[in-house]
Amino acid sequence: MDARTPSHRPERTCVGCREVAARDQLVRLVREPAPGGASPRVRVDPSGSAPGRGAWLHPDAACLDLALRRGGLARSYRGAVDTGLLARDLESFDPTRTWNR
């Protein structure tokens, strides 16, 4: 009798809609320090393993909007962050993923 279990797929929670999804369906965002003592900047982490505090988001404009309105990014990064260029970064992130607008 061969009782194989399905392989484990890591799951993460989207900071926008708060739904749990497989890691490969989400985009990782990472906080990086800003020069001059300004609020830390949030950038897309294409490798999914950059050092620093990370947050996960569906590649969807609605989830980004929810994350910004509900304060999901500030909560995940435990403080205020600069998200000024984040929408542009997500749109040009990876041609293999679709960014639903």
pLDDT in tens, 3-34: 666 788 899 999 999 999 999 999 999 998 88
Please tell me the predicted confidence (pLDDT) of residue 98: 47
Q: Which of 95, 96, 21, 14 is nearest to 61 (CA)?
A: 14
21 within some domain: yes
What's the structural domain count of the chain? 1
Domain that holds residue 76: 11-91
100 within some domain: no
pLDDT per position as a tens digit, 51-76: 989 999 998 889 999 999 999 999 99
3 within some domain: no
CA–CA separation, 64 vs 29, rounded Å?
11
Please tell me the predicted confidence (pLDDT) of residue 74: 92
Kindly report the pTM of this predicted structure: 0.80
